[in-house]
C-alpha cells in the first residue's frame, strides 16, 4: 500500500481509538446495575441471507453489513439509497444531483468507472435481479417507504452471484406481520423538493401484504435538473401450511421527465457549480423511463433436512434519452444518432435446493441451484434534431435487436467441524451469451449482426476461527469475472458501425482477512484487509458527447483496509463509525484516446496511475438518540479524499467533509403514531463534487454536490 494509503489507515484506526476513549458512556461498569445506573444496551445479532441461508453475520467469513428499513427512513428524504449507504465501509455512494442518471455506486473500486447505471456490483430487490445478465444494473425502482432491510456483501464471496459481482447489494421489502396498519408521510425541502407517500401492511390469517406508493418532485439543485418520479411496490405472502410459503412481488417506476444538466468542466465547477453545461440547454438533454416487473417465489420444506425454493420473474423497461451530441458528426450516414430509445424485456428463473445435515459430527449446510436470466433489447438511435431544431427526435439512424442470456449453476457448502472452526466453500459456473441482429442495413451501412459468449468457473473458499465467543478471525479467497455490458459493447472505437464484440471479459482474484469482535458494552467492531488483482480490465478508450467506447487493458490492483464500529448505550443512544483506506491502481501501462476521432490510441497511461472514480480514503461517523417515542436527534459527518477524474490522473475532485444534523419528535395517541422531523445537510455549506464522470472526453467530469439544504417531514400511521 502507498504511504498515503497507510497514513489513511492509521488515521482510521486513531479515529476509532479516540472515539472509544471519548465515549466512556458506552462502557458501563461490569456487575449488577442499580436503578440509577442503566445497563448498557446489547446489540442484537445481525441476521443476513448473503450465503443463501439465514445466518448470523458474525459467524460468516465475509464482510457483510445490514441496514434496517427504519434506519433508512429516520429523518431522511427517502429519495435514494445513497442517503444511508455511506455508513458501510468499502462502499462509495455518490450524490449526483442528476435524476436522469442512475445512482453511482462502487464497492472496493468495482463499478467506479460507470458513467451510466450501476455495473460491477450485483443488485437484487426481493431476490429478483436488478442487474441484467450483461452486468448492467439500476435500482431506481426501490420504494424506501416499504423496505425492511438492505444487505451489502463485499469481498470474494460476492463472486458466488456470478457476472459483475465485485460486491452485492440486496434490498428486501419488509415482511408482513401483525394487524393492518396504514401510514402516510410527506417531506418538503430545498430546491422545490416534495415527496409524498403512503403504505399499507398487515396480515389476515395466512395472507400478508405490504403495499406502498410515493411521488417525488424537485426543481433540482442545479439549472436544468428538475425531475418527477412515481414509485409503486407490493409484496403479498400466503402460507397455506407450515411447510409451504408463496410470495408475490411487483413494482413499477415512472419517470415522465428528468432533465440532465450534464457534468461541468473544472472552470464551471469552480465558478458556477449550480449551472448546467450550455450543451444541456441547447439540446434539452433529458430522460424518460417506464419500468414494471413482477415475480413469484415458492418455498417448500420437503422434510426437516431438505427444502426447495423456486423463483420466476419478468419485467419491461423503456428508456428515451436526448443526448448532447453535436449535429455535424451526425451528417455521416454511419453515425448512430444523438437520441437513444431502448425497449428492454427481461426475465428469469432460479431453482434452489437446500440440505441441512451433519458430517463427522459437525453441522453441514449444502445449497445448490440453477439460474437462467434473459434480456431482449430493442435499441434504436435517431438524430437529435429536425431542420435545425435541437433536442427533438429526428430520423432513424440505428435499429438492432440484442439478446443476452446467462446460465449459471452454483453449489455452496458450510461446515462446522468443531465449535471453534467453520469452513465455507462454493463454486459457480457461468455462461453469458450476446447476440445482435442488425435491422438497419441502409446504403453503405452494412449488416453488423453478430455475437459472442463468455464462460467462467468461480471458486470461493473461506475459513473462520473463533478465538472465543466474542472474537472471530477469518480468511477468504476467490475468483470473479466481469463481462462487458451491452452499453459497453454498443460502439466500436474506430467509428465503424455495429457492436464492439472484440471486448473480452475481465478476471479477478481476491483475498480477504478480517477480525470480528463483539465487545459487549464497547459495541461491535469489524476490521478487514483485502486485495484484488484483475486481468484484462475493461477500461474507457474514448468518451465524448455521452458516447463511450471501451477496451481491455492489462492488470489492476485494489487493496485496502475497512473498519466498522457500532455501539449503543442507555438503550436509545447509538454511535456508528466506518472508515476505508484503499489504493486502486493500474499495474500495467496502456494507451487510450485523447479525443475523437481516434483511429489509433494516442494517450499513454503509465503503470501506477490511480483508477479514476476511487477515493483513497473515506470516513463516516454518526451519533443518534432515537427512542420509540419522544424527542430524537443526531449528527452525521462524512469525509472523502480527492478522487481522480480520468485515467491520466491530470485532475481530481477535491477532498471534502460534510456535516448533517437532524431532530424530531414522535408521539403515540391511542392507535395513532404521529411524527415530525427537520434536517439540515451540508451544514457548513461546503463546495464539493458529489460525483465525477470518469474519462469524459469533453472535460465535463464534475457533478457538483448540493450546498446547505433543509428538509422537514411529517408522518402518521394508524393500526386497525
Instruction: Give domain limits for the chain.
Output: 3-30+38-719
Per-residue model confidence as pLDDT tens digits over 54-86: 888 899 999 999 999 999 999 999 998 889 888
At residue 42, the pLDDT reads: 58
Instruction: Assign 596 a pLDDT band (cuts: 50, 70, 90).
Output: low
Per-residue model confidence as pLDDT tens digits over 608-649: 999 999 999 999 999 999 999 999 999 999 999 999 999 999
Instruction: List the one residue out of 497, 605, 487 whose CA is nearest residue 546.
Output: 487
Residue 205 has what DSSP assignment? Answer: T
At residue 191, the pLDDT reads: 96
Q: Is 713 helix (H, G, I), strand (E, B) or coil?
A: strand
The 3 state secondary structure assigned to 39-53 is CCCCCCCCEECCCCC
pLDDT higher than threshold 90 for residue 385: yes
Instruction: List the one residue out of 464, 139, 440 whose CA is nearest residue 289.
Output: 139
Per-residue model confidence as pLDDT tens digits over 279-289: 999 999 999 99
Are 12 and 570 in contact by the 8 Å Cβ rule? The answer is no
At residue 248, the pLDDT reads: 97
Give the torsion sign (CA, 597, 601, 606, 607).
positive
At residue 13, the pLDDT reads: 34
Query: Considering the domain 3-30+38-719 in this protein, what is its CATH number?
Result: 2.40.170.20
Distance of CA 49 to the CA centre of its chain: 17
- The C-alpha atoms of residue 266 and residue 219 are separated, in whole angstroms, by 24
| Region 227-232 average pLDDT | 96
Per-residue model confidence as pLDDT tens digits over 155-165: 999 989 999 87
pLDDT higher than threshold 60 for residue 40: no
At residue 43, the pLDDT reads: 66
- The C-alpha atoms of residue 469 and residue 467 are separated, in whole angstroms, by 7
Per-residue model confidence as pLDDT tens digits over 415-440: 999 999 999 999 999 999 999 999 99
At residue 187, the pLDDT reads: 97
Show the cell assigned to 692.
465525477
| Region 16-38 average pLDDT | 35
| Region 185-190 average pLDDT | 96
Give the torsion sign (CA, 52, 58, 59, 61).
positive
pLDDT higher than threshold 90 for residue 510: yes
CB count, 10 Å around CB of 592? 24
With cell 414522535, the residue in question is 666
Q: Is 243 helix (H, G, I), strand (E, B) or coil?
A: coil
At residue 54, the pLDDT reads: 83
pTM of the model: 0.91
Residues with Cβ within 8 Å of 399's Cβ and at least 6 positions away in sequence, in order, are 379, 380, 381, 438, 439, 440
pLDDT higher than threshold 50 for residue 18: no
| Region 520-528 average pLDDT | 94
Are 297 and 288 in contact by the 8 Å Cβ rule? The answer is no
pLDDT higher than threshold 60 for residue 22: no
| Selected residue with higher pLDDT from 23 and 114 | 114
At residue 580, the pLDDT reads: 97
Are 603 and 646 in contact by the 8 Å Cβ rule? The answer is no
Residues with Cβ within 8 Å of 308's Cβ and at least 6 positions away in sequence, in order, are 299, 300, 302, 351, 352, 353, 354
pLDDT higher than threshold 80 for residue 545: no
Beta strands 91-94 and 630-640 are: unpaired
At residue 30, the pLDDT reads: 32
At residue 360, the pLDDT reads: 92
Amino acid at each position: 500500500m502507498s504511504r498515503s494509503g497507510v497514513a489513511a489507515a492509521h488515521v482510521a484506526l486513531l479515529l476509532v481509538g479516540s472515539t472509544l476513549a471519548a465515549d466512556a458512556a458506552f462502557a458501563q461498569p461490569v456487575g449488577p446495575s442499580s436503578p440509577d445506573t442503566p445497563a448498557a444496551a446489547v446489540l442484537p445479532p445481525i441476521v443476513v441471507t448473503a450465503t443463501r441461508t439465514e445466518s448470523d453475520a458474525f459467524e460468516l467469513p465475509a464482510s457483510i453489513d445490514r441496514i434496517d428499513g427504519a434506519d433508512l427512513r429516520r429523518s431522511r428524504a427517502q429519495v435514494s439509497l445513497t442517503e444511508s449507504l455511506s455508513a458501510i465501509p468499502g462502499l462509495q455512494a455518490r450524490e449526483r444531483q442528476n435524476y436522469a442518471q442512475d445512482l453511482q455506486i462502487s464497492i472496493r473500486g468495482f463499478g467506479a468507472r460507470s458513467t451510466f447505471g450501476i455495473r460491477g456490483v450485483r443488485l437484487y430487490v426481493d431476490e429478483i435481479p436488478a442487474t441484467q445478465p450483461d452486468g448492467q444494473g439500476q435500482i431506481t425502482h426501490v420504494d424506501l417507504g416499504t423496505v425492511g432491510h438492505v444487505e451489502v456483501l463485499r469481498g470474494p464471496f460476492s463472486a458466488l452471484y456470478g457476472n459483475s459481482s465485485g460486491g452485492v447489494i440486496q434490498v428486501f421489502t419488509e415482511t408482513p406481520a401483525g394487524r393492518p396498519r396504514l401510514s402516510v408521510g410527506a417531506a418538503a425541502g430545498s430546491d422545490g423538493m416534495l415527496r409524498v407517500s403512503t403504505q399499507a401492511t398487515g396480515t389476515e390469517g395466512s395472507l400478508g401484504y405490504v403495499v406502498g406508493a410515493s411521488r417525488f418532485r424537485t426543481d433540482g439543485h442545479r439549472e436544468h435538473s428538475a425531475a418527477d418520479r412515481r414509485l409503486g411496490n407490493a409484496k403479498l405472502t400466503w402460507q397455506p401450511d407450515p411447510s409451504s410459503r408463496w410470495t408475490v412481488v411487483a413494482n413499477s417506476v415512472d419517470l415522465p421527465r428528468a432533465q440532465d444538466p450534464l457534468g461541468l468542466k473544472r472552470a464551471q465547477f469552480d465558478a458556477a457549480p449550480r449551472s448546467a453545461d450550455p450543451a444541456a440547454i441547447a439540446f434539452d438533454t433529458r430522460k424518460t423511463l417506464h419500468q414494471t416487473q413482477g415475480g413469484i417465489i415458492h418455498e417448500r420444506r420437503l422434510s426437516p433436512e431438505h427444502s426447495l425454493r423456486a423463483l420466476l420473474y419478468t419485467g419491461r423497461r423503456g428508456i428515451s434519452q436526448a443526448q448532447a451530441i453535436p449535429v455535424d458528426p451526425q451528417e455521416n450516414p454511419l453515425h448512430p444518432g444523438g437520441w437513444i430509445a431502448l425497449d428492454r424485456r427481461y426475465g428469469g428463473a432460479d431453482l434452489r435446493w437446500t440440505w441441512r445435515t451433519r458430517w463427522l459430527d459437525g453441522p453441514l449446510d449444502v445449497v445448490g441451484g440453477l439460474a437462467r436470466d434473459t434480456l431482449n433489447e430493442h435499441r434504436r438511435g435517431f438524430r437529435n434534431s429536425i431542420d435545425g431544431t435541437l433536442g427533438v427526435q429526428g430520423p432513424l439512424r440505428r435499429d438492432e435487436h440484442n439478446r443476452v442470456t446467462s446460465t449459471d449453476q452454483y453449489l455452496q457448502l458450510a461446515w462446522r467441524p468443531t465449535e471453534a472452526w467453520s469452513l465455507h466453500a462454493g463454486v459457480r459456473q457461468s455462461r453469458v451469451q450476446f447476440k445482435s441482429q442488425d435491422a438497419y442495413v441502409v446504403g453503405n451501412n452494412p449488416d453488423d449482426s453478430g455475437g459472442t459468449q463468455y464462460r467462467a468457473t468461480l471458486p470461493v473458499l473461506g475459513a473462520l476461527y473463533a478465538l472465543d465467543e466474542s472474537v472471530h478471525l477469518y480468511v477468504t479467497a476467490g475468483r470473479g469475472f466481469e463481462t462487458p455490458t451491452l452499453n459497453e459493447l454498443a460502439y466500436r472505437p474506430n467509428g465503424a458501425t455495429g457492436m464492439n464484440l472484440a471486448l473480452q471479459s475481465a478476471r479477478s482474484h481476491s483475498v480477504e482477512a478480517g477480525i470480528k469482535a463483539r465487545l459487549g458494552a464497547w459495541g461491535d467492531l469489524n476490521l478487514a484487509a483485502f486485495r484484488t488483482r484483475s486481468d484484462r480490465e475493461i477500461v474507457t478508450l474514448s468518451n465524448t458527447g455521452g458516447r463511450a467506447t471501451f477496451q481491455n487493458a492489462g492488470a489492476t490492483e485494489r487493496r485496502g483496509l475497512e473498519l466498522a464500529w457500532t455501539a449503543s448505550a442507555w438503550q436509545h443512544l447509538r454511535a456508528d463509525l466506518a472508515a476505508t483506506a484503499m489504493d486502486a491502481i493500474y499495474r500495467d501501462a496502456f494507451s487510450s484516446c485523447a479525443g475523437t476521432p481516434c483511429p489509433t490510441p494516442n494517450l499513454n497511461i503509465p503503470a501506477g496511475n490511480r483508477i479514476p472514480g476511487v477515493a483513497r480514503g473515506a470516513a463516516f461517523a454518526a451519533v443518534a438518540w432515537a427512542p420509540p417515542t419522544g424527542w430524537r436527534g443526531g449528527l452525521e459527518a462524512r469525509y472523502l479524499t480527492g478522487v481522480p477524474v480520468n485515467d491520466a490522473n491530470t485532475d481530481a475532485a477535491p477532498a471534502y467533509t460534510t456535516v448533517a444534523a437532524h431532530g424530531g419528535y414522535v408521539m403515540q395517541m391511542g392507535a395513532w403514531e404521529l411524527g415530525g422531523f427537520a434536517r439540515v445537510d451540508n451544514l457548513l455549506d461546503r463546495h464539493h463534487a458529489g460525483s465525477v464522470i470518469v474519462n469524459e472526453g469533453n472535460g465535463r467530469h464534475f457533478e457538483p454536490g448540493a450546498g446547505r439544504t433543509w428538509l422537514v417531514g411529517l408522518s402518521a400511521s394508524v393500526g386497525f
